[in-house]
Structure 1
Amino acid sequence: MSAPNKSYDPVEVEALKPEEIERMRDEALAAFDAAADLDALAHAKTAHTGPASPLSLANREIGALPPAAKAEAGKRVGMARGAVNKALAARLAILETERDERVLVEEAVDVTLPYDLVPAGARHPLTTLMERVADVFVAMGYEVAEGPEVEAEWFNFDALNFVPDHPARQMQDTFFVQGADAASHSGSAAGKSDESGVVLRTHTSPVQARALLDREPPVYVVCPGRVYRTDELDATHTPVFHQIELLAVDEGLTMADLKGTLDHMVQALFGEGMKTRLRPNYFPFTEPSAEMDMVCYVCRGESVGDPDRPCRTCGSEGWIELGGCGMVNPKVLTACGVDPAKYSGFAFGFGIERMLMFRHNVEDMRDMVEGDVRFTRPFGMEI
């Protein structure tokens, strides 16, 4: 490129001739119109608007023109470049619109087709039922109380009036946690009770003792939780299961209060019109003690004495055994620092697995512990 020269004639510069500028412009417009997609348009953009494009090179030639000729040449090139950029923007908008419309068609999803995502899980029905039972008593003013699953033998047995030679203390019924000293001597997985004094709780009743020690009467608590016994796993037994118990200690409580509470519970869980009955029994931690039955929720007792209407749920007896109950033994109150001359109380407990079998006709308890989603999913995600 030569230096400025006043005698330089712009008409002699080939790139700046009017017909040459028009040709460059028309070639750029034709290239843009011929671009079938955004990639082709990008190549055309580089070829006709980039630093090495004909119009860009022509624009550089203007600097060598005499001052009097620069204005006309600059206007001519500027108008051509403006027309090229305008055509480029218009073609870009058209191609982007076509691309978006094509994507909507090609990548459309039919939401009515079967999905192949991982199916949603479900809460375990034991958890749901245990929380539902607890909610019944919370609505009555009870407080939810919890305690450790690895429990001191005193809370699990002694505080609840289990005598030292009670069968429930034996190794065939209770998991004893081996102490460090016992482990060094025996090398076995379980020591005797006099070696550690620690067990896996066999019921949730120790929580009742802890509640009485931690609170001043009146005490109204419901105690859900996991318990352990040395049972074989079969259709009706499992070594790890769940219980829920309630404890009420106040002035003037009687068996009538217990009966009314139980009636309300079964009606809340099984429907209106459900009744309960108490049969005499024995438990170390209650006196008097009883087994609580509820009227069969399927036949409502109508199958009794009617051979034409047998009931498989209750065996046509009209009643279903649900759990044990009774008035808190004064020895338990004394062990927990409560004056039995001033306060009385009642307690009730039952197994959640057993109630789940009643409510939903579950025939094999092993289905509850095997973790098969085909068992839990029908119960849904109830919260």
Structure 2
Amino acid sequence: MSAPNKSYDPVEVEAVKPDEVARHRADALAAIAAAASLDALHQVKIAVAGDRAPLALANREIGALPPAARAEVGKRIGEARGAVKAALAARQEALETERDARVLVEEAVDVTLPWDRAPRGARHPLTTIQERIADIFVAMGYQVVDGPEVEAEWYNFDALNFPPDHPVRDLQDTFFVAGKGQDQDQDTEGAVSGLVLRTHTSPVQARTLLAQGAPVYAVSPGRTYRTDELDATHTPVFSQIEGLAVDEGLTMGDLKGTLDHWATAMFGDGVVTRLRPHFFPFTEPSAEVDLQCFVCKGASVGDPENPCRTCGSEGWIEWGGCGMVNPRVLIACGVDPERYSGFAFGMGLERSLMFLNNVQDMRDMIEGDVRFTLPFGMEI
């Protein structure tokens, strides 16, 4: 019996034929060269070098060949797969180089450009004017005090000599958080007191007197609340700064001098003030403070041909209220009115801002439009 003829190949496998291997190699190299992006190259890599790629499938057929044929076929397919792998690496490097060069151009930053052209923001002018006024009074020896915005009715009204039937204690004028028949607190005298959103910052003055006694020099800036309609000159939430001075021998002359110094520091040299008799429950005597119109300087009064829109041709602009502290307020706050006297004053910050910067509509201050605040900048 003769031995088997191992040189004879009874099986012809199509995938491993030299022509087929060369064709798959050429197709793969052409697809790699045609890949225009890294994403496209990734898809080509899966097609020509993945587990289901033609050359990978051909490599699996080597095991079906007779031993004598495996070496030659394996070498041929290995060379083809190596060429494809080298082409993929070369194309990957070329595309990454192109991408990096493009990014350097498209995302370039000119570090020589001015860095401060884009504003970072601005502080609200009401904040800056409040701090500016506080600095004026701190320089005069006053302290800045603060208190709660939800206030006991006793501090907001009773301690300041507002009688129980005063019109401002009606719901039409004051925001009540807790009133008659609702949850209530007790005041310092033990009586039942409602809770209100403070209508002025004067309760802070009463608290300061009760806590520190006399003498005292203090200003109290902050938000206040009243049931006003929102329009060009009124808002239900507004800011005030009120001042209180209680010491021995204080007079209306001291009050006038303080207000004149404040007006000059705020609006510049040459500003003129006047006091008009008025009534406030917590001061006696009381007065309204007017500023001479800083636009027409009073020249528009009686001159119909040159009217002044700022003051309405009256020559004066109302600024705030003031007066000597009512002795009843001093007594309510534990201060001897026979020994001490004092004066108090209060002005709206929105009104001062309108005067200082010629703001026409108070609603612009509260609507949150950055175009309003940006011109005021970052004043500190």
Q: 1:319 aligns with which of 302, 316, 319?
A: 316
Q: CA deviation at 1:222?
A: 1.6
Name 1:261's counterpart in structure 2: 258
How far off its partner does 1:85 sit?
1.0
The structure 2 residue matched to 1:228, chosen from 222, 226, 229, is 226
User: How far off is 1:207 after superposition?
Assistant: 2.2
Q: Distance in 2 between matches of 1:163 and 1:309?
A: 46
Deviation by residue 1:31-88 (Cα, 9 ceiling, x = unmatched): 3224456666455433421223343244445667899997776665444322211212
Give the C-alpha shift of residue 130 in structure 1.
5.0
Residues of 2 paired with 1:254 and 1:100: CA distance? 79
Letter of the 1:223 partner, please give it.
P
Structure 2 CA distance for aligned equivalents of residues 19 and 197 of structure 1 = 101
Unaligned ranges ≥5, structure 2: 108-119, 184-190
Q: Match for 1:244: what amino acid?
A: I
- Aligned counterpart, 2:90: 90
Task: Name the structure 2 match of 1:187.
Answer: none
Task: Work out whether 1:56 is the aligned partner of 2:56.
Answer: yes
- What amino acid sits opposite 1:261 in the alignment? T
Contact 2:146 2:220 in 1 (8 A): yes
Among residues 292, 309, 320, which one is paired with 1:295 in the alignment?
292
**Residues in 1 aligned to 2:8 and 2:21: alpha-carbon distance in whole angstroms:** 17
Residue in 2 aligned with 1:26?
A: 26
* 1:149–1:201 CA contact under 8 A, matched in 2: yes
Distance in 2 separating the partners of 1:303 and 1:368: 28
Q: Secondary structure at 1:52's aligned position in 2?
A: coil
TM-score by length of 2: 0.67
CA contact 1:263–1:276 (8 Å) conserved in 2: yes
Q: 1:239 to 1:23 in 2, by over 3 A?
A: closer
1:184-223 equivalences under 5 Å are 197=194, 199=196, 201-217=198-214, 218-223=216-221
CA contact (8 A) 1:204 1:227 kept: no
1:1-383 matches, cutoff 5 A: 7=6, 22-35=22-35, 41-60=41-60, 77-94=77-94, 133-134=133-134, 136-137=136-137, 141-152=142-153, 154-163=154-163, 168=168, 178-180=179-181, 197=194, 199=196, 201-217=198-214, 218-228=216-226, 241-250=238-247, 253-301=250-298, 310-340=307-337, 343-359=340-356, 367=363, 377-380=371-374
Structure 2: distance between partners of 1:169 and 1:49? 87
| Matching residue of 1:113 | none
The amino acid across from 2:204 in the alignment is: V
| SS of 1:180 mapped into structure 2 | coil
Hey, what's the Cα distance between the residues in 2 that align with 1:175 and 1:352? 21
Which string of whole-angstrom CA distances, capped at 9 and with x for unpartnered residues, describes residues 61-116 of structure 1?
56678999977766654443222112123334445666788999999xxxxxxxxx
* Secondary structure class of the residue paired with 2:218: strand
Kindly indicate whether the alpha-carbon contact (under 8 Å) linking 1:6 and 1:66 is maintained by their aligned counterparts in 2.
no
Matched letter for residue 162 of structure 2: F
Seen in structure 2, the aligned counterparts of structure 1 residues 46 and 250 have a Cα distance that, compared at 3 Å, is same
Q: Deviations over 1:337-356 (max 9, x none)?
A: 23445544321112344435
Give 5+ residue unaligned stretches, structure 1.
Answer: 108-119, 183-193
Paired with 2:230 and 2:225, the residues of 1 have a C-alpha distance of 14
Structure 2 residue aligned with 1:117: none
Contact 2:173-2:226 within 8 A present in 1 as well? no
Report deviation, 1:227. Answer: 2.8
Calculate percent identity across the aligned residue pairs: 63
Distance of 1:272 and 1:339 partners within structure 2? 38
Deviations 1:154-185 (A, max 9, x none): 32333123355656556775566642279xxx
1:222 aligned partner, one-letter code: S
Are the aligned partners of 2:123 and 2:377 in contact in 1 as well (CA < 8 Å)? yes
How many residue pairs align between the two structures? 350
For 1:324-376, what per-residue CA distance to the aligned partner results, in whole angstroms no more than 9, with x for missing partners?
112323332221123445544321112344435544556666x469x7677x8
Write the distance in 2 (CA, Å) between the matches of 1:49 and 1:17: 19
8 Å contact kept, 2:307–2:313: yes
Query: Are the equivalent residues in 2 in contact too, given 1:178–1:195 (CA < 8 A)?
Result: no
> Whole-Å Cα distance in 2 between the matches of residues 48 and 167 of structure 1?
91
